[in-house]
Amino acid sequence: MSLQPPPQGQPESKGPRGPARMKKGALPWLLAGTGLLVFALIAGVALGVAGSSSGVNSRPVAGSDAKAATSAGTFGFGSRGRVPMVDSATAMASFQYPEGWVQGGEEFTTVNSDGTVPAEEFVALNRFLDGTALLSYTAEKPLVQQPTQQQIHEILDLGLRSQLQLPQDRLVEQRSTSGFGCVQDFAYTERPSILERDHMYGFRYGYGCMTISGPIQGEYLVAIDDTGVLHTFIVEALQFEWDASRESMTAIIDSFKPRL
């Protein structure tokens, strides 16, 4: 029995300014010697802003019942000083984001090419500064329960190698539908590297690019947990906001954990 991919998604349109919806792209990788044809997702869900024209079906986001409570004693440290972080949890993951961010995107959802939707979606953005930063989380249920560690490692190791081989135009294309939407000048701020912690295995990288809203910086994480759930997690901010709150931005990714 082989580990099967989550369904591939479709592009969704951007609004006139600010963060945009993201399509879920996929690269097919045939794992030599294993007979497993898999897709490692290189994109997740992001925010759709009011006023954007989109053909997606309107329905509540799967994470809309996620709980959030202020976490006493937990802070992100940017140039603005101590920023309290908020604990948030969905059925499949937990993470933190700065106090003052709010959940958004409930009026939109991602629709995969086969008509299915992700098992979970969650979007939050900075309302203090009119959506200058956001996080986006999506999860796909495994079609095969309890994949072996060897299968998980083979999928993500090959995904990492493929990511490192992408040319500049493909890197821009890959992030053109995420968050604010890269249009040119993609560059890694942190090279893609393996992530192994909290019963998940995957890779992450930092990046910057030019968007229609100006320069942005972000971090991307993709991982499969021990149960086979595939998680994608993205944090992006306009460059001035990232520079002002760098520790808080990176703390969001660092706080991510699957809920097994």
Domain contains 91: yes
Classify 252 as helix, strand or coil.
helix
pLDDT 10s digits, 39-52 = 333 223 222 222 22
Helix (H) / strand (E) containing 28: strand 26-31
Q: What's phi and psi for 242, nearest 5 deg?
A: -60, -45
Tell me which residue range forms the domain holding 174. Answer: 26-258
Number of domains in the chain: 1
Classify 24 as helix, strand or coil.
coil
Q: What are the residue ranges in the chain where pLDDT is below 50?
A: 1-17, 20-79, 81
Residue 40 tokens read as 């490692």
Domain contains 192: yes
Following DSSP, what letter does each residue of 35-69 receive, concatenated? TEEEEEE-----PPPTT----SPP---GGGG-EEE
Alpha-carbon distance of 146 to 23, in angstroms, equals 27
Domain contains 18: no
Q: What is the pLDDT of residue 79?
A: 45
Q: C-alpha angle 6/203/152, rounded to 5°? A: 50
Q: Which residues pair with 39 in a beta bridge?
A: 28
pLDDT 10s digits, 103-120 = 886 655 666 556 778 899
Torsion angle of the four alpha carbons 215, 171, 245, 96, in this order, in degrees rounded to the nearest 10: 140
Q: What's phi and psi for 125, nearest 5 deg?
A: -145, 160
Among 101, 98, 138, 132, residue whose Cα is nearest residue 118: 138
Q: C-alpha angle 47/216/187, rounded to 5°? A: 115
Q: What is the pLDDT of residue 107?
A: 56
Helix (H) / strand (E) containing 241: helix 239-244
| End-to-end alpha carbon distance in the chain | 22
Q: Which residues pair with 217 in a beta bridge?
A: 208, 237
Question: Residue 69 is part of a domain; what is its CATH number?
Answer: 3.40.1000.10
Domain contains 204: yes
Domain contains 8: no
Q: What is the pLDDT of residue 105?
A: 66
Domain contains 6: no
Domain contains 14: no
- Residue 146 φ/ψ region, left for φ over 0, alpha for ψ in the -120 to 50 degree band, beta for the rest: left
Domain contains 152: yes
Q: What is the pLDDT of residue 259?
A: 94
Asked whether the whole model's pTM tops 0.95, one would answer no
Helix (H) / strand (E) containing 191: strand 182-197
Q: What is the pLDDT of residue 177?
A: 78
